[in-house]
Structure 1
Amino acid sequence: MDKRATHIQQWIDAYSDTLLDSALFLLSDKQDAEDIVQNVFISAFESYSSFEGRSSVKTWLMAILKNKVAEFYRKKYRHIDNVPLDRYFDQEGSWKNDDILQDWNEKDENLLDNNDFNKVMAECIDKLPLKWLIPVKLYYLEEKKADKVCQETGITATNLWKILQRGRMQLRECLEFNWFNIL
């Protein structure tokens, strides 16, 4: 084996699990995450000569991973049908059900420390329409700036804010139904 192949094999052994965990977090689909990680190592192999060692190998591979995930979402986002909004809004654009705007109880301040709540939250996030899921994950979970989310998804800032607002409302409704109403 040549030097490049030896290093890549060492990197696969050392960083596969870390990259897969990150990809699973960002994609929520094991098959997609495994494909992305495989593509990361293919890209690393192909661009091995451009790695100058200015950063750690892990940092370089994570950067490749983030670019691959962004590329994945860009492709997927551009080929999605319109999201049906008639479930939430009437013909004039007003909320059909104002009940989803009700306030949650203040007693639930430390919910993110509750594993059961986190499980319900993850399920609610995964129920978002794909056209909303991608910007919500990029903005809230990856904590990317709005302009970066717009750039990666190819949407306007106005569209992003509407998607985030509607995503929050759907998450709220899902959490109220699946968490708060069962307590």
Structure 2
Amino acid sequence: MGSRALLGAASLCGIALACASCRPAAEPLPARVRISIDGAVISPAKADGRQWDGMGAVAPGALTAIGGLLRTEHPAAAAASVAGFAAEAAGSGTEPPEPFGSAELFVGARSLGRRTLDRSGQRDTCTPGWDGPPTWRRVPLTPDVHLSGELIDRDLIHDDFIGRFAINHGHLVAALRARTVHPVAVDNQAAGQVLFVWIEVWPD
């Protein structure tokens, strides 16, 4: 390589290093946080395409469209779009679930308590919210902190299992840095019937 090429490469490296040094450092994480679960987005159909209540099936085109939305790179936009589409699909002759459930927070194997996920009078929805919302205070933001939850469709005779979800340290940090209600994509967990879980994480 000629001297001019070497000088050019050195200059580019210097610029790159200078730019890297100018980048703002990530804010240090707080030692303790407040964690809330605000709601969820549920598929308008069971994994086999059947609607939650009744004998009909959800149109395959609706499920294909939701699958396409889930593959976008922006979780907040995807969650909002999927929520709107799920609500529309649920209102077009199908019967949505009546979701309720619970979630438990752990640091390692130690439980910091279980919270109920429910809302009085809430019926027939793919976008449930929870009374409260359920919250844990003064939670150590350690690498082994995680949430585990499950949702169930309340029926007159036999309740239907909707799905389990897990939220890990990385999800909690992303929500903390988002500084708003943050969607965690969980459609790749369990049966894929729970699509998103909305959480908030704030310094505490």
Name the TM-score, length of structure 1 as normaliser.
0.23
Report which structure shows greater RCO (CA 8 Å, sep ≥6): 2
Q: Which has the higher strand share?
A: 2
Name the TM-score, length of structure 2 as normaliser.
0.21
Q: Which has the higher helix share?
A: 1
